[in-house]
C-alpha cells in the first residue's frame, strides 16, 4: 500500500507524501519549507495551497477541505487536521487497508491551527521529532505565562522585548499571544507578510504594526529566528530576546542560540503525545520518520510493530 523510495509513495494513487524532490503529484501536509516543494500537482488544504503560493509561486493545486473525502483512483482520500500550523493536515487513504500519514502534528491545541484529530488505521506513518522520553512539554498556558512575564519585566526595565519564532507558524502564534495579552506588537516583515495571509484565511489578531518604521517605545518586537543578537541590537538598541522552540528543553540550548530565554513552545507533539497518538490510532504497523530511531524501539517495547525509516534510504516495503 505504501513504498519508501527516498520518500513516501502510495502506488495505488500514484501519489507521493511530502516528497522533497519535485514530483508529478504529491500530498503536501503543510507549508513549512522542508515540506513545501513545488510539485507539478499538489494535494493539500486550501490554506496550505495559499501559503505555498506565497512561498513558492503558483502551483496546480487539488484542494481538499478537512474531512471532505475525495476519490482518487478508486480510493477514498481524506485530509484531516494535524494541529501543527494553519492548514496543516494528515492524510487517510482507504483501500483494502487504512493508511494514515501524520505529517508534522501536535495534539495540544494551539492558537492558530485547528486541533488535531486521530483516526484509527492499519498502517501509520508518523513523525517523531521529539520522540525521546525527556521531551515533555509543560502545559502551553504555563509557557505563555512565562512569555508574558518576560515581556512585562523587560519593558519595566526600559528595554525592548524581542520574541523570536519561525516565520510561518510560531511567528503568528507569538503575535497572537502578545496581542491577546494586551501588548502592542511590532512585527518583522517576513512574519508580517504571513500574518496578513493568516488574516485573509480567517485568523484574527489584535492591531499590530510593521517593523522597521515604527517607534518601539513600550512595544514588543516579533522577529524571525534567523535574526541574531548583534543584528537585533544594532537595529533595536537595548533589547532582550526570548526564543520559542521545543528544543528549549535541552539545557544548553539558550547558550547555543545566544538568547536570553528559550521557551519550549512547540508545534510538534512531545514524547507523551506521540505515544498517546499511537494508542488512539491503534495501528497494526507503524513507520516513524523525521526523528529519533529510538522512538520506534520504544513502541516495540510497548508491543507495537514499529520501524524507523531513516531520511536517506532506498527500500520498498
Instruction: State how far the Cα of 283 lies from the Cα of 120, in Å rounded to an integer.
Output: 7
Q: Residue 38 or 146: which CB sits closer to Zn ion?
A: 38
What cell numbers appear for 304 in the block? 507495537
CB of 59 to Zn ion, least distance (A): 18
Stretch near Zn ion under the rule CB under 5 A, chosen from 8-16, 57-65, 99-107, 301-309: 99-107
Nearer to Zn ion, 104 or 173 (CB): 104
Rounded to a whole number, what is the distance in angstroms from the first to the last CA of the chain?
A: 9
Q: Which is nearer to Zn ion, 82 or 123 (CB)?
A: 82
**By three-state DSSP, how is residue 314 classified?**
strand
Binding span for Zn ion by CB under 5 A among 27-35, 190-198, 227-235, 302-310 = 27-35
Answer yes or no whether residue 140 interacts with Zn ion by CB under 5 A: no
SS3 114: coil
With contacts defined by CB under 5 A, name the span among 2-10, 101-109, 128-136, 186-194 that binds Zn ion: 101-109
Does residue number 104 form part of the binding site for Zn ion (CB under 5 A)? yes
For Zn ion, which is the closer residue by CB, 32 or 98? 32
**DSSP H or E segment with residue 300:** helix 294-301
The whole-angstrom separation of Cα 240 and Cα 262 is: 12
Tell the smallest beta-carbon distance from residue 193 to Zn ion (Å): 18
Q: Using the minimum distance from each CB to Zn ion, give the nearer residue, 32 or 298.
A: 32
Rounded to the nearest 10 degrees, the angle between the axes of helix 170-180 and helix 140-156 is 70
Interface with Zn ion: number of residues (CB under 5 A): 2
Q: Which is nearer to Zn ion, 104 or 273 (CB)?
A: 104
Cα gap 278→202, rounded to integer Å = 31
Residue whose C-alpha is closest to residue 93's, from 102, 104, 84, 82 = 102
Stretch that binds Zn ion, among 16-24, 98-106, 171-179, 280-288 (CB under 5 A): 98-106
Pairing label, strands 70-72, 75-81:
antiparallel
Between helices 294-301 and 271-281, what is the axis angle to 10°? 50
Residue 47 near Zn ion by CB under 5 A? no
Does 285 participate in binding Zn ion (rule CB under 5 A)? Answer: no
Q: Per CB under 5 A, does 32 bind Zn ion?
A: yes
> Whole-number minimum distance, CB 194 to Zn ion, in Å?
14
Q: Work out how close the CB of 269 gets to Zn ion at its nearest, in angstroms, rounded to a whole number.
A: 12
Structural Rg of the chain based on CA atoms: 20
What is the pairing mode between strands 220-224 and 239-244? unpaired
Cβ nearer to Zn ion, comparing 170 with 240: 170
The span from the CA of 110 to the CA of 140, in Å, is 8
Binding span for Zn ion by CB under 5 A among 104-112, 220-228, 230-238, 290-298 = 104-112
User: Measured from the CB atom, is 191 or 239 closer to Zn ion?
Assistant: 191
Burial of 181 (0-12, 13-18, 19+ CB in 10 A): middle
| Nearest-approach distance from CB 209 to Zn ion, in angstroms | 27
Minimum distance from residue 24 beta carbon to Zn ion (Å): 23
Give the footprint of Zn ion on this chain (CB under 5 A): 32, 104
Amino acid at each position: 500500500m505504501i513504498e519508501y523510495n527516498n520518500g513516501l509513495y502510495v502506488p495505488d494513487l500514484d501519489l507521493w507524501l511530502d516528497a522533497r524532490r519535485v514530483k508529478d503529484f504529491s500530498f503536501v501536509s503543510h507549508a513549512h519549507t522542508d515540506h513545501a516543494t513545488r510539485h507539478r500537482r499538489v494535494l493539500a488544504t486550501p490554506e496550505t495551497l495559499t501559503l505555498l503560493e506565497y512561498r513558492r509561486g503558483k502551483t496546480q493545486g487539488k484542494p481538499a477541505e478537512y474531512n471532505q473525502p475525495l476519490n482518487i483512483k478508486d480510493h477514498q482520500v481524506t485530509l484531516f487536521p494535524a494541529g501543527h500550523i494553519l492548514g496543516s493536515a494528515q492524510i487517510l487513504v482507504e483501500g483494502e487497508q487504512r493508511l494514515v500519514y501524520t505529517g508534522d502534528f501536535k495534539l495540544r491545541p494551539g492558537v492558530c491551527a485547528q486541533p488535531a484529530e486521530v483516526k484509527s488505521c492499519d498502517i501509520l506513518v508518523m513523525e517523531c521529532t521529539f520522540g525521546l522520553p525527556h521531551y515533555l512539554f509543560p502545559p502551553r498556558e504555563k509557557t505563555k505565562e512565562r512569555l508574558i512575564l518576560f515581556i512585562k519585566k523587560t519593558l519595566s526595565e526600559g528595554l525592548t522585548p524581542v520574541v523570536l519564532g519561525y516565520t510561518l507558524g510560531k511567528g503568528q502564534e507569538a503575535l497572537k499571544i502578545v496581542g491577546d495579552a494586551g501588548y502592542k506588537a511590532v512585527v518583522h516583515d517576513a512574519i508580517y507578510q504571513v500574518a496578513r495571509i493568516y488574516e485573509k484565511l480567517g485568523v484574527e489578531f489584535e492591531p499590530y504594526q510593521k517593523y522597521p518604521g515604527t517607534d518601539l517605545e513600550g512595544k514588543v518586537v516579533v522577529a524571525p529566528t534567523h535574526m541574531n543578537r548583534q543584528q537585533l541590537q544594532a537595529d533595536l538598541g537595548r533589547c532582550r530576546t526570548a526564543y520559542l522552540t521545543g528544543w528549549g528543553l535541552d539545557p544548553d540550548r539558550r547558550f547555543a542560540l545566544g538568547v536570553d530565554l528559550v521557551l519550549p513552545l512547540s508545534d510538534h507533539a512531545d514524547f507523551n503525545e506521540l505515544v498517546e497518538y499511537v494508542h488512539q490510532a491503534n495501528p497494526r504497523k507503524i513507520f516513524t520518520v523525521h526523528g529519533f530511531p529510538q522512538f520506534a524501539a520504544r513502541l516495540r517495547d510497548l508491543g507495537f510493530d514499529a520501524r524507523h525509516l531513516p531520511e536517506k534510504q532506498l527500500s520498498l516495503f
